[in-house]
Amino acid sequence: MTDATLAVQGLTHDFGQRRALDDVSFEVRPGRLTGFVGANGAGKTTTMRAIVGVLRPDAGTVTFGGASMTLEVRRRIGYMPEERGLYPKMKVAEQLVYLARVLGVTKDDAQARAASLLEGLDLAERRDDLLHTLSLGNQQRVQVAAALIHEPDLLILDEPFSGLDPIAMDAMAERLRDRAAAGVPVLFSSHQLDLVERLCDDLVVIHHGRVVAAGDARALREQRAGRRYRVDVGGTDAWMPALAGMTVVGSGPEGTLVDLDESADPQALLAAAQAAGPVEHFARTVPSLAELFAEVVR
Amino acid sequence: MSTPRTALVRLVAGREISVKLRDKGFLASTAVFIAIIVLAVVVPVMLEGDTPEYTVAATGHAGAVAEVAVELGGAEVPGLPAADITVIGLEDPTAGAGGDPVDEAFLRGADAVLSSDPDGTVVITAQENVPGDLEELIAAASSAVTAQDVAVEAGLSADQLAALTSPPQPRIDLLDPKPSLPVPPELVIVIFGFLFYFTVLTFGASIAQSVVEEKTSRVVEILVAAVPVRWLLAGKVLGNAAMALGQVVLIVGAGLVGAQAIGEGDIVAQVLGVSGWFLAFFVLGFLMLACLWAVAGSLASRIEELQSTTLYMQLAVMTPFFSAILIRDEGPARVALSYFPLTAPLMMPARVATGDAAAWEPWVAMVIVSATAVLLIGVGARLYSGSVLNTSTRTRLGGAWAAGGRA
């Protein structure tokens, strides 16, 4: 496959009178982690279900590497549904082997992969326990293993981090990075914006069924950054520059925030700051993902 | 890569089977069933099986009666019980160690002591009671001996005597004879009817439960993303059908082996003769109903809702069972029910078992049931795809039908 990009094009879906998805379009590029953020009920899960073919949207198309999502293509997706789903009364390893075989993996391969995944997730000694005897966190790890068991070409993970402790979260992030590095497009939704910010290469923000921002995460934030600078002059708590085209929007122990209009030169601000004392910090501020999110969904 | 459809269906069916095989309730009920069937076949034969043995001491004229009783007991005369009677002599009181010869006889194991009154009446002396079989035989022997004595006195010839003591039995001429069967066909029908009823009910419920379990645990979402819903349904139904048929064959087989072991080969022959039709209709009837049980399961979103969504299915299983048991007399109702798809799986083989159906009739019913099964499997698959992903609320039939059309 030369271009393993997942393309979502114009997805629209109604639940009765309510429009759940409204012309949703975005791409998930190979080798990149794409974070999918939005408030509860914004349409994340519906979009993911439409991608994996569990839900048939009223309109719109999904393609993977240019091909439509036939059964053969869908069987190459690693999917983790929002509400976790495994057989509670089946043994952990047996369950993984069964799912792998349903997805077309041979019995020997399935057993080998189940063993190595469980090993990697620190669950090797629980392999013959019934799933429902495991703690929720451990069940969650088995769910991760279930999504990875057939070495999928595409990962669609709905809230993969919810319910994980910080250590498991790091392990999970590591795993997703691995898969992305292997060239697999990874789409995952999360409410934990700091985590998404730290992890993601690309971002899709959805609000009330519409995509309000999509693309390279860094670029999106830069775009919204504007011309706000933070200046921290050592020794002064409240340095208040009075320069043409500049407005002080706040000051505090972290320094002074200054908005520059189109004509103002940031270098003039720096020069003024240096004249006032030793400059400890001078930079354009980029909004955090939380700020960006708050802004785009407003 | 092409999707190996049969392999997938087999995998899904295999999981159903392995789950069942590990279900202790299922294993226990099968074992109990087999035990019941074997006991039902073996115990009555064991109870009636052995010819009772009696020891009789006789003296004087009663000795002749005792000899005739021995003959009658061993001859399997119609109307008389069979018994193995041993006659011992009643010892002369002077020859023994003294004491009462009657007591002596009882000490030697006699069940009864026969003697005769001066007027010729036979007296049976026993300790607590006289076994019924023995009493009957001695009574018959006594009248035979008396009749013979009287005949000899009257100077009757041997032929005349024979005509008197064993008069010719009427000959029976049947215009439309039914085959004489070692087991009443009604019993066979009840047994197969109950097996069908029990099996469809338990396996139907287990299919429905397995569907709901996949819905509540949301596994179905992963599966549906990768496997067409119809294949899932097919795997579930086939896995359970294989187990159901296996269980029935095991139970019937255990009964037959039991019957063969105790030497009731004619029972085996009779049941094998009709079980072919019962089993053939069983498979079709099961497949026909199993899909609907899966639909009933998929309409529920939680185990608690199964009770209400499977209600009609329980009726659909109970109706044929009770009609097969209650409507025994051949007539228009029975004939009609033996062609009606829901009741045919029991009624038609029942009519075959009682010898009321012509040779072509089960074939026609089979075609009708097959056609209905194909239709219902299609309907069931559509309803199943339309409802299996709705995990939040109970699905209405109409909604499932519409959604299934889109899927």
What secondary structure does DSSP assign to B176-194, as a single string?
A: SPPPP-SS-HHHHHHHHHH
Contacts of A90 in chain B (CB under 8 A): 19
Q: A155 — phi, psi (to 5°)?
A: -115, 125
Which of B22, B221, B231, B393 best tests the A interface by mutation, with the highest count of A CBs <10 A?
B221
Return the amino acid letter for A82.
E
Task: Looking at B58-100, list the stretches that DSSP marks H as alpha helix, in order from N- to C-terminal side.
Answer: 62-74
For B93-127, write each residue's pLDDT tens digit: 444 555 677 777 787 778 888 887 777 788 888 88
Q: How far is CA A285 from CA A19, A214, A278, B238, B365, in A?
A: 37, 21, 20, 64, 82
Angle at Cα A236 formed by Cα A232 and Cα A242, nearest 5°?
75
Band (pLDDT 50/70/90 cuts) for residue B167 is low
Q: Tokens in use for B335? A: 């004939």
Instruction: Among B3, B8, B12, select the one facing A72 at the smallest CB separation.
Output: B3
Residues of chain A with pLDDT under 70: 1-2
Q: Are B318 and B197 in contact (CB under 8 A)?
A: yes
Q: What is the mean pLDDT of residues B131-135?
A: 81
Euclidean distance between CA atoms B355 and B277, whole angstroms: 13
Euclidean distance between CA atoms A130 and B90, whole angstroms: 78
Q: Are B90 and B116 in contact (CB under 8 A)?
A: no
Using the predicted structure, report yes or no on whether residue B247 has a pLDDT greater than 60.
yes
Provide the 3-class DSSP secondary structure of residue B265. helix
Give the pLDDT of residue A18. Answer: 87
Could you tell me how many residues make up chain B?
407
Which residue matches tokens 């949301």?
A: B218
Query: Between these two residues, B225 and A111, which has the higher pLDDT value?
Result: A111
Burial B230-268 (b: 16+ CB within 10 A, else e): bbbbbbbbbbbbebbbebbeebbebbbebbeebebeebb
Give the pLDDT of residue B269. Answer: 76
Q: Which CATH class is domain B52-165?
A: alpha beta
Q: Are A104 and B3 in contact (CB under 8 A)?
A: yes
Contacts of B212 in chain A (CB under 8 A): none
Provide the 3-class DSSP secondary structure of residue B71. helix
Return the amino acid letter for B292.
L
Give the pLDDT of residue B48. Answer: 63
Q: How far is CA B219 from CA A95, A126, A259, in A?
A: 11, 20, 53
- Quick check: A79 and B225 CB within 8 A? yes
- Quick check: A84 and B406 CB within 8 A? no
- Quick check: A86 and B217 CB within 8 A? yes
Give the pLDDT of residue B181. Answer: 65
Instruction: Among B12, B213, B228, select the one facing A71 at the smallest CB separation.
Output: B228
- Quick check: B11 and A101 CB within 8 A? yes
Contacts of B234 in chain A (CB under 8 A): none
Using the predicted structure, report yes or no on whether residue B2 has a pLDDT greater than 50.
no
CB pairs under 8 A between A and B: 66
Give the pLDDT of residue B390. Answer: 66
CA A295 to chain centre: 18
The helix (H) or strand (E) run that includes residue A24 is strand A18-28
Euclidean distance between CA atoms A25 and A48, whole angstroms: 12
Max CA distance (Å), chain A: 74
Top-confidence range, A210-214, B78-82, B85-89: A210-214
Euclidean distance between CA atoms A264 and A246, whole angstroms: 7
CATH 3.40.190 domain extents, chain B = 52-165
Instruction: Calculate how close chain B gets to A131, using CA atoms only, in Å.
Output: 11
Contacts of A149 in chain B (CB under 8 A): none
Q: Which residue of B has its CA nearest to A102?
A: B8
- Quick check: A56 and B227 CB within 8 A? no
Q: How far is CA B205 from CA A290, B199, B210, in A?
A: 50, 10, 8
The DSSP bridge partners found for residue B50 are none
Q: Are B253 and B338 in contact (CB under 8 A)?
A: no
Q: Are A33 and A180 in contact (CB under 8 A)?
A: yes
Q: Are B277 and B366 in contact (CB under 8 A)?
A: no
Using the predicted structure, report yes or no on whether residue B303 has a pLDDT greater than 70.
yes
- Quick check: A85 and B228 CB within 8 A? no
- Quick check: B15 and A98 CB within 8 A? yes
Q: Which residue of B has its CA nearest to A94?
A: B15
The helix (H) or strand (E) run that includes residue A68 is strand A67-68
Band (pLDDT 50/70/90 cuts) for residue B47 is low
Q: Considering only A65-74, B64-73, B257-266, which range has the smallest mean pLDDT? A: B257-266
- Quick check: B407 and A56 CB within 8 A? yes
Q: What is the mean pLDDT of residues B46-53?
A: 69
Q: Are A24 and A10 in contact (CB under 8 A)?
A: yes
Give the pLDDT of residue B177. Answer: 63
Which of A45, A54, A155 best tests the B interface by mutation, with the highest count of B CBs <10 A?
A54
Average pLDDT across chain B, whole number: 79
